[in-house]
Amino acid sequence: MELWYTEKQTPDFGMTCKINRTLHHEQTEYQTLDVIETGQFGRMLVLDGMVMTTDRDEFVYHEMLTHVGMVTHPHPKRVLVIGGGDGGVIREVLKHPAVEEATLCEIDRRVVEVSQEYFPGIAGALSDSRVNLCFEDGVQHIEAHSDTYDVILVDSTEPIGPAAGLFQESFYRGIYRSLRRDGVMVAQTESPWFNRDLIARVYRDISGLFPVTRFYTASIPTYPSGLWSFTLGSKERDPLAVDPTETAPPETKYYHPSMHPSLFQLPRFVAELTE
Ligand code: AAT
C-alpha cells in the first residue's frame, strides 16, 4: 500500500508527495509535530499539517532568510532568530565570522529537540558555544530587549496559531526598538501567489518604520506555490548599496554575491505588492 501526504496550501490547492514512513508524531503544547520520510525530498518536518523544512530543499530558505540581511549589516555581532527551531537559520548565521552571539527564540522546545534527533545536518549548529537558546514567545522576547541586536531574522510559521503575533505592526515596532543604531531585520513573508494581502500589508508596516525596506523572493519547491518571499528592513544601510563579495560566506548552495543586486529586481506581479 502506498502512503501519500498532502498539504492543503489553500482551500483549493495542495502539494502531494509519497512517503515511505512516519518517523515521529506528537501533539506538543503548541502544535502537531510530524517527521515523515518522503521519496522526493528526504525527511520533512511538518507542523500543524504544513511543511517547515525538508532535507533536500532547506538550504534555499535558510540561506536566503539569513545571508541577505547579514551582508547588509557592517558588523553583525549579536544576532537574534525568532522561531526557526530546526536550527537552519542559526547554522547559516554562524557562517559569518563577525558573529559573537546568536540567540534562538523558539516558542516550542519540542521543535528543537525533535530536529536535533531527526535533522542533525540542520540542527547540529544549535550546540555551538556562540548559541543561546531561549524558549519563549518571540513577542515577549522582543518586548524585553531594546537596543540589543544587530540583526533580527524572523523564521516563523504561517500567520495563524502561535505565530499570529509575529506578523503584526506592533511586533515590527518592537523589532525596530530591539535593534541597535544600524540594525537590520528580515522576515519570511509567505507566497507572492497565495498571500498577497499579507505581503502588501507587512511591506507597508515595515516601510513605515524602517528608512530602507527591500523585498526579494526565492524558489522553494516544498513551500506553497514554490515561490517564497522575504522582507528586509534596515535602519541605515541599503542592501542595494553593499558589495557582498568579501562578506558572503563561501560555503553556500543558493545565495551567491553575484546574484545579490538582481534579487531586488522583481517580476511585475510581485513588484506591485510593494508599491
Ligand atoms: N526553519 C524553517 C522552519 C520554520 S519553523 C517556524 C518556527 O516558529 C516553529 O518551530 C514554531 O514553533 C516557531 N514559532 C511559532 N510562533 C512563534 C512565536 N510566537 N515565538 C517564537 N517562535 C514561534 C518556518 C517555515 C516557514 C514557512 C512554512 N511554509
- Distance between CA atoms of 253 and 251, rounded to whole angstroms? 7
What's the pLDDT at 254?
Answer: 98
Known binding-site positions for S-methyl-5'-thioadenosine? 31, 106, 137-138, 162
pLDDT at 76 (0 to 100): 98
Which pLDDT value is given to residue 161? Answer: 86
Edge-first strand order for the sheet with 13-27 is 3-10, 13-27, 32-38, 42-47, 50-54
pLDDT over 90 for what percent of the chain? 97
Q: What is the pLDDT averaged over residues 32-47?
A: 98
58-274 to CATH, choices 3.40.630.30, 3.30.565.10, 3.40.50.150, 3.40.50.360: 3.40.50.150
For ligand 1, is residue 58 a contact (CB within 6 Å)? no
Task: Measure the CA angle with vertex 235, ends 234 and 239; round to 5°.
Answer: 35
CA distance 182 to 240: 15
ipTM of the complex: 0.98
As a CATH number, domain 3-54 is 2.30.140.10
Residue spans in the chain of domains classed CATH 3.40.50.150? 58-274
Q: Kind of pairing, strands 149-155 and 131-134? A: unpaired
Q: What is the pLDDT of residue 3?
A: 92
- CATH 2.30.140.10, the chain: domain bounds: 3-54
Query: d(Cα 95, Cα 99) in Å, to the nearest integer?
Result: 8
pLDDT at 1 over 90: no
* pLDDT, tens digit, 9 for 90 and up, residues 153-176: 999 999 888 899 999 999 999 999
What number does the ligand 1 atom closest to the CA of 31 have?
A: 12
Contact (CB, 8 A) for 63 and 92: yes
User: Measured from the CB, is residue 165 less than 6 Å from ligand 1?
Assistant: yes
Is 87 near ligand 1, meaning CB less than 6 Å away? no
Residues 53, 59, 62: CA angle, nearest 5 degrees: 75
